[in-house]
Structure 1
Amino acid sequence: MNPHIPRWIHITSLLALLLTWLLPARLMATEKLRIITPFPKFTTDPFQQAFEKRHPDLKIELLRYKTEASIKAVQKGVAEGKAPDLFWASAKDAFEILSGDDLLLPYQSSVPGVAKQVGGQLVHDADFHFTGFALSSYGIMWNDHFTRLHGIPNPKDWEDLTGPAYFGQLAMCTPALSGTTHMTVESILQNYGWDNGWMLLKAMAGNVRQFTNNSIDVPDAVVAGTAGAGVVIDFYGLTNESAGYAVDFVTPKRPSLVPANIALIKNGANPKAAKAFIDFLLTPEGQKLLLLPEISRLPVNPSVYDQAPRNYPNPFTNSDLLNAQPFDVMLSKDRYGLINHLFDAILVKGLPEIQAATKAIHQAHQAIAEKSTLTTPWFSIPWNIQNAGQISLAREKLDLARKSLGEVPISLELASQKEMLELFPESTQNVPDAQKQAQEKLRGAWLAHTRTTAGEAEKRARESIQALSDPTP
């Protein structure tokens, strides 16, 4: 001890050093809030900046994964004691999966003004294991130059994407690689029914140039003009439209309105900060950020729409959205893995055969249309009778071609059986080798069925064209 320095200064220094060792590390530095999300940077940045400005002692760390990879990351993080604090995503069934695995903690925010439901759809989980902060619909984004160039009406419904003008011009991701695409596929199956839903999806797939590896590649292709139209979540269409690109977006006639959610993850290191972030998303300040052109999502606070741009979709007043069929999230959760495997086996693996059949069907459709518009003198009665017979036969064969192409290799009854659903669980982690072999055997059978029915469809389409030139008895 230096005799020239007063004793009280030495004691103060020792106490300060002792406090440095005793105080928790997070009080000595900025706290960290870890959020796992598939949302792109342009969506999360405004929320991160506004929240950190409100809470300068907090720093957000965003961990970006696709939806299915996010599910795996949460499962792994909790199991290894390294759980993130929040899961923030659009795909509601992903939250049901994590909740079913007991990996989410309930939290009921006290922020006022948030709707409890829209139409028949609950905004939040009934037990508050996840919180709806925005609403999403799924639909069609198209390039204005494309529709004008081909002289076709702007698409209004899914069926419009199955026409000849969209052959090789449709962009779409796969449900296994995109949670929002999975929700779109599931909503089509729920709204149209199992058989008609798969028939529609196969007809759309026939016009796909190729399936993208990421959902954001779809709107990018439409904006660039490398695709005439794409299957997207609403905010991709709205953001690009508001940015001034020559694109538009429409919600189909049978829409599904689904909440985008956020949830507390079990054993997260900072639950207090996580709850504060959830609360912030629901405040008027957080809800208004959804209206930014680069985000363009639908708030869950009805009063915020007073500040929305002109003609901004309002699910609380828009009759189509208000009357949207409630999305059965438990059904989606139960068959999550099955739908992904089935889509991959029949539409992705079987795409070349489906495209070949679709091309032949378009050619037959065009040939019938041209034959039907031929004009002949009134006195050519025998020729007109023969012509009508050829067209009628061609249409019958074309209908058979479409039915063949639309066949699904597994019935709803079989797809709903407990054993089938357990064979294809929502998570691909820790699947035993014997189970994987059983999966591959079924996937191979589904693909073989698809190739056979597509071949039959192509053959019947060729017969339809041939019928237009064959003499009728």
Structure 2
Amino acid sequence: MGLPSYQGALLMSSPSRSDTNHLMVESLLQQKGWTAGWATLLAISGNLVTISSRSFGVADKIKSGLGVAGPVIDNYANLLLNDPNLAFTYFPYSAVSPTYVAVLKNSRHADEARAFIHYLLSPKGQRILADANTGKYPVAPLSADNPRAAQQQRLMAQPPLNYRLILKRQQLVQRMFDTAISFRLAQLKDAWRALHSAETRLKRPLPEIRALLTSVPVDAASSEDETWLAQFDNKSFAEQKMMEWQIWFLNNQRLAIHKLEELK
């Protein structure tokens, strides 16, 4: 999705506005690594039409013709697949994200809640979930003749996401995404358009300039440092970091544009 051919054609939500998008972003960061993951996200961002307010809005806007493609969870997309013009494809290493159910600690109806959970996990409950128009997979294996059985097995075979890490750096990822992408989308699109144009004209990649547009001001070690991450609970610290990041991204982009102008 970072190819120039997708310029002005992609849609995406922000992890600060959508929990499901946050999980998709984290899946990319955990599978590709912090540095390579952000490089991918920033390359994709140059092709975005807009940042959708909600993850479901991505699929909805694509259906409405406002975009061509975008990352969205399967059950949001599957609900719209009765439209012959729409298609959904899993990423090669898509991770499973469970839908949680629990009994409140001080519930006045704990017995009824437990009975409901047992029902959901029973063969009958799982069969209803598998047949319902929710787009979700049951946790019990689907029968071999079910058209979704093979995909369910592939999803279940993937390593689970590190949810402890997700929660630990939730504020970092959300604030970084908005500072790097959401709040400067127009400037990003201009910079990437200029880079794609230069690479096409010169008929060669420009890795030095590309690196300026795909780097983030936080390294992988810091992204897992519990002591440092805990400081984002302090609003003043978080806002100060975002201001520093804004300046950092602005300087990198100015340098990238300057280098592109030197190539003319």
TM-score, normalisation: structure 2: 0.91
The structural deviation recorded for 1:459 is: 3.2
Q: Which residue of 2 aligns with 1:401?
A: 209
Letter in 1 for 2:54: N
Cα gap change, 1:297/1:364 in structure 2, threshold over 3 Å: closer, same or farther?
A: same
Is 1:341 the equivalent of 2:178? no
Letter in 1 for 2:22: H
Cα gap change, 1:355/1:312 in structure 2, threshold over 3 Å: closer, same or farther?
A: farther
Q: What SS is found at the alignment partner of 1:255?
A: coil
The structural deviation recorded for 1:400 is: 1.3
Aligned residue-pair number = 264
Q: Deviations over 1:205-242 (max 9, x none)?
A: 1211111111111000111111100110111222222x
Divergent runs of 4+, >4 A = none
Please state which structure has a larger fraction of its residues in helix.
Answer: 2
Alignment of 1:46-445 (within 5 A): 161-241=1-81, 243-292=82-131, 294-302=133-141, 304-306=142-144, 308=146, 310=147, 313-316=150-153, 318=154, 321-369=155-203, 395=205, 398-425=206-233, 435-445=234-244
Compare CA radii of gyration and give the structure with the larger one.
1
Q: Deviations over 1:356-382 (max 9, x none)?
A: 11111221233244xxxxxxxxxxxxx
Please state which structure has a larger fraction of its residues in strand.
Answer: 1
Cα gap change, 1:326/1:311 in structure 2, threshold over 3 Å: closer, same or farther?
A: closer
Q: Deviations over 1:301-348 (max 9, x none)?
A: 11x33463x3565332x3xx3542331111112111221122122221
Q: What SS is found at the alignment partner of 1:172?
A: strand
2-side partners of 1:231 and 1:217: how far apart?
Answer: 11
Q: Which ranges of structure 1 fall in alignment gaps of 5 or more residues?
A: 1-160, 370-393, 426-434, 467-473
Q: What SS is found at the alignment partner of 1:209?
A: strand
2-side partners of 1:284 and 1:323: how far apart?
Answer: 21
Q: Deviations over 1:18-71 (max 9, x none)?
A: xxxxxxxxxxxxxxxxxxxxxxxxxxxxxxxxxxxxxxxxxxxxxxxxxxxxxx
Cα gap change, 1:420/1:323 in structure 2, threshold over 3 Å: closer, same or farther?
A: same
* Contact 1:173/1:215, CA 8 A, preserved across alignment: yes
Q: Which ranges of structure 2 fall in alignment gaps of 5 or more residues?
A: none
* Contact 2:168/2:226, CA 8 A, preserved across alignment: no
Q: Deviations over 1:66-98 (max 9, x none)?
A: xxxxxxxxxxxxxxxxxxxxxxxxxxxxxxxxx
The structural deviation recorded for 1:164 is: 1.4
Is 1:447 the equivalent of 2:222? no
